[in-house]
């Protein structure tokens, strides 16, 4: 199981960052889970550069540029140099800020070029009775993965994050049977995009109001791990989350 703690912009000082990191190290040493922390970019290197623990680090996003005269941009190269080994791409909060499928595909190329493992977020805005949400997710997956080589497609982690379930509570999160349906569908699309059996090795994670109260029933479905936002930035709830599935 992979647990990605997406700190978003909830963590804004190094004291809190260090305390959460210390707790994650403890949890990682006690369980077989892979724990990955995605801090805000300025806090990344302070935690990641001298890291000798089992915890790994992710960038929350990377620039679509290759660097140079691009004030304010944080490139994949800079994230790798700061100690990240993963990078989130296509998060709905970045898509809402303007990242189209084409931009996501471009960022994915930069992430792979710098040997970071991409965590590609996909997910519909709303559910409907005609199955349009399935074609929406298919389009997000295809537009990002189709331009890549077969080898690179197999390096991507998928995070299914329905937008309607993000930032709510466990009660408003996805139902386990709906998550099973979607992960099976994602696996079907991946099987079309990747050769042979390689798609079966691509981890498919879930994100959207994963809390201590629902992580166990969601883990019983077909997912390989979780991308966790608000519940990952409180020490007690992150500990409870990890303990409940470890
Ligand atoms: P949430 O966020 O756990 O706060 O719903 C998940 C995410 O957006 O990655």
pLDDT digit string, tens, across residues 91-130: 999 999 999 999 999 999 999 999 999 999 999 999 999 9
Ligand 1 atom 3, closest CA: 229
What residue ranges define each of the domains in the chain, with the CATH number in brackets?
2-245 (3.20.20.70)
Active site residue 91: yes
Which ligand 1 atom is at minimum distance from the Cα of 231? 3
Distance CA 69, CA 139 (A): 33
Cβ distance 117 to 86 under 8 Å? yes
- Write down the pLDDT at residue 246: 87
Over residues 60-88, the mean pLDDT reads 98
% of the chain exceeding 90 in pLDDT? 96
pLDDT at 221 over 80: no
Whether 210 lines ligand 1, by a CB cut-off of 6 Å, is: yes
DSSP 93-125: HHHHTT--HHHHHHHHHHHHHTTPEEEEEE--S
Distance 195 CA to ligand 1 centre (A): 31
230 is catalytic: no
Active-site choice (91, 106, 124, 140): 91
Q: What is the pLDDT of residue 243?
A: 95
3-state SS string over 160-207?
A: ECCHHHCCCCHHHCCCHHHHHHHHHHHHHHHHHHCCCCHHHHCCEEEE
pTM: 0.98
167-219 pLDDT, tens digit each:
999 999 999 999 999 999 999 999 999 989 999 999 999 999 999 999 999 99
């Amino acid at each position: 199981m992979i647990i990605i703690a997406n700190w978003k912009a909830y963590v804004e000082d190094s004291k809190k960052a260090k305390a959460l990191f210390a707790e994650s190290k403890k949890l990682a040493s006690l369980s077989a889970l892979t724990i990955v922390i995605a801090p805000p970019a300025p806090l990344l290197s302070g935690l990641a550069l001298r890291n000798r623990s089992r915890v790994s680090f992710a960038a929350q996003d990377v620039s679509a540029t290759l660097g140079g005269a691009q004030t304010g941009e944080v490139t994949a190269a800079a994230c790798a140099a700061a100690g990240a080994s993963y990078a989130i791409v296509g998060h709905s909060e970045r898509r809402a800020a303007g990242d189209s499928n084409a931009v996501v595909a471009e960022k994915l190329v930069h992430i792979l070029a710098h040997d970071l493992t991409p965590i590609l977020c996909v997910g519909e805005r709303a559910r409907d009775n005609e199955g349009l949400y399935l074609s929406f997710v298919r389009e997000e997956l295809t537009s990002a993965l189709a331009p890549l080589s077969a080898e690179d497609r197999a390096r991507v982690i998928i995070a299914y994050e329905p937008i309607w379930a993000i930032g709510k509570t466990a009660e408003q999160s996805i139902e386990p049977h709906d998550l099973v349906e979607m992960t099976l569908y994602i696996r079907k699309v991946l099987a079309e995009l990747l050769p042979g059996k390689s798609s079966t090795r691509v981890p498919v994670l879930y994100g959207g109001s994963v809390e201590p109260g629902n992580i166990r029933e969601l883990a019983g479905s077909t997912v390989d791990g979780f991308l966790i936002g608000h519940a990952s930035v409180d020490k007690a709830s992150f500990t409870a989350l990890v303990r409940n599935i470890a």
